[in-house]
Amino acid sequence: MPAPPLPATAPVTAEIRLAYVLRHFREAYEAVPEVSIGYASTLPQVEIREVDHDFFAGTNPYPAAPGWREWGGQQPPFFFAADPALPLLELRPAGRARINFDLISAAFYLLSGWQEFFSAERDQHGRFPYAASVQCRYGFVAVPVVNHYFEVLRAAVEHASGQALRPRRWAGGATWAACITHDIDNLYSAWKEPAKAALRRGRLLGFGRQLWRHFTQKDAWDNLELVQQTVAEYGAKSTFFFLPEHRQAPNGTPNADYQIQAISSRVEALEAAGSEVRLHASIGTATDLDHLTREAMVTLGTPTNVPGIRFHYLQWEPRVTPALLDDLAFEYDSTLGFAEHYGFRNSYCLPFQPFDFRTGRAHDFLEIPLNVMDATLHHPRYLLLTPEEILPALRPMFREIERFGGVCTVLWHNENFDPANQRNGPREFQKLMEYLRSRNVAFGTCGDIWRQVYYDFS
């Protein structure tokens, strides 16, 4: 599916990049003191070295290759780095500091999603492919590089102000947070795979047995209450994204296998028990305002004033979708992760406001980035981790989110609470939840996270 043409864009000046990045820096730490930060021409206390500003006058999706420099015991990639002979940070007398790479441009490049906006690469679902990303090319998808950049700036601001900065806290004073979410695509299709397999092997008796079960017993994926109870055992509440569209897309891609109206009392019961219920917008809505408007008007459970969204198949067209979310006054989205790999699509582990290239300002809606999806972990086109490999693979990413006081967003489909799934099923989910609980994470719904961010910083 090709990318739509580039819309008209506003110039991305140095001032615009500064304002956008510093706004997020101030949200990432508690009570950031007033310290002037900027390029040499403004004589700031914290001076940022200017590197390759012509890049932002063009439309190239990719900047020059990053340099790998030691910082905080790790070696993150530094884009817009000029002179490897200079130290990254120079602390000077009288509360002055100089940062010897263009931290603002590098953070802006990754956080704004510049690469996917200017790249025309899309996969068969219209998504920006992981294979086309700088995260894939330079191998840093599981590192929130922008948070590492912010640590350099933090050291500079601490020096300039004489005050220690602390990462922001979450509910109950927790040092990090986790959002557990479920996209509800299927409730009635667990029987289909074993039935088809029996047919393929010519085992008519086996096929008949599956068919009999289908008509006489509850489907193993018809398990919304089980999902809620499983999550509640960890003291957590989750966000359920429901698909209002039952019909498949014109290209044959399936939407829901259920009709939302038929399960409305169960959806209300989930909400009454403390879960959050939001919109899982169907195929095609990410690029179609009228279509998205119709789905946004479907009342899911109890109507509330915090509309949140995640697109089915993680469909997201960077040149169109963000503007639709502002047009419809969505308060948050949680679509932005790579389907092909766990990690950080915008190289940032906190919720953020995506950049609006048409206006040169931040969008109104909050992005709660998606870090790990069950399907990513075991899928012929994504990763093929064994159950024993899952937690060791994810742990370094979790450590990074914890270290920077971020939010870890997990997507586990209800169909993967089926005990028959022994690859990325309920046991693997439970191991992941046990890990998160053991690290004292503050569990919250996406709406809880939105409220904490919104009320702290508005």
Residue ranges binding Zn ion (CB under 5 A): 183, 185, 312
How are beta strands 89-92 and 96-99 bridged, if at all? antiparallel
Nearer to Zn ion, 231 or 279 (CB): 279
Shortest distance in whole angstroms from residue 35 CB to Zn ion: 44
> How far apart are CB 230 and Zn ion at their closest, in Å?
19
Q: Please give the span between the terminal C-alpha atoms of the chain, in angstroms, as a whole number.
A: 39
DSSP character for 256? -
* Choice between 17 and 125, CB closer to Zn ion: 125
Is 168 or 345 the residue whose CB approaches Zn ion more closely? 345
What are 376-385's contacts with CB under 8 Å, separation 24+?
A: 376/338, 376/339, 376/340, 376/341, 376/342, 377/342, 377/423, 377/424, 377/428, 378/423, 378/424, 381/340, 382/339, 382/340, 382/341, 383/340, 383/341, 383/342, 385/424
- As given in the structure block, the two tokens for residue 98 are 């100089």
Q: Are 11 and 358 in contact (CB under 8 A)?
A: no
Which of 47, 183 has the CB closer to Zn ion? 183
Q: Tell the smallest beta-carbon distance from residue 309 to Zn ion (Å).
A: 12
- Tell the smallest beta-carbon distance from residue 310 to Zn ion (Å): 8
Compare residues 45 and 376 and give the one whose CB is closer to Zn ion.
Answer: 376
Alpha carbon 167 to chain centroid distance? 20
| Least Å from the CB of residue 183 to Zn ion | 4
User: Scanning the structure block, which residue is given the tokens 């088809």?
Assistant: 196
> Which residue, 241 or 355, is less far from Zn ion as judged by CB?
241
Is the Cβ of residue 183 or residue 219 nearer to Zn ion in the bound state?
183
The C-alpha R_g of the chain, in whole angstroms, comes to: 23
Distances (CA, A) of 285 to 170, 278, 328: 33, 15, 12
Residue 343 backbone dihedrals phi, psi, to 5 degrees: 135, -145
To the nearest whole angstrom, how small is the minimum distance from the Cβ of residue 185 to Zn ion?
4
Neighbouring CB atoms inside 10 A of 361's CB total 14
Shortest Cβ 276–Zn ion spacing (Å): 16
Q: How far apart are CA 375 and CA 379, in angstroms?
A: 6
Tell me how far, at minimum, the Cβ of 227 lies from Zn ion, in Å. 15
How many CA atoms lie less than 13 Å away from 146 in the CB half-sphere? 28
- Cα–Cα nearest to 114, from 105, 125, 122: 105
Residue nearest to Zn ion (CB): 312
Nearer to Zn ion, 69 or 312 (CB): 312
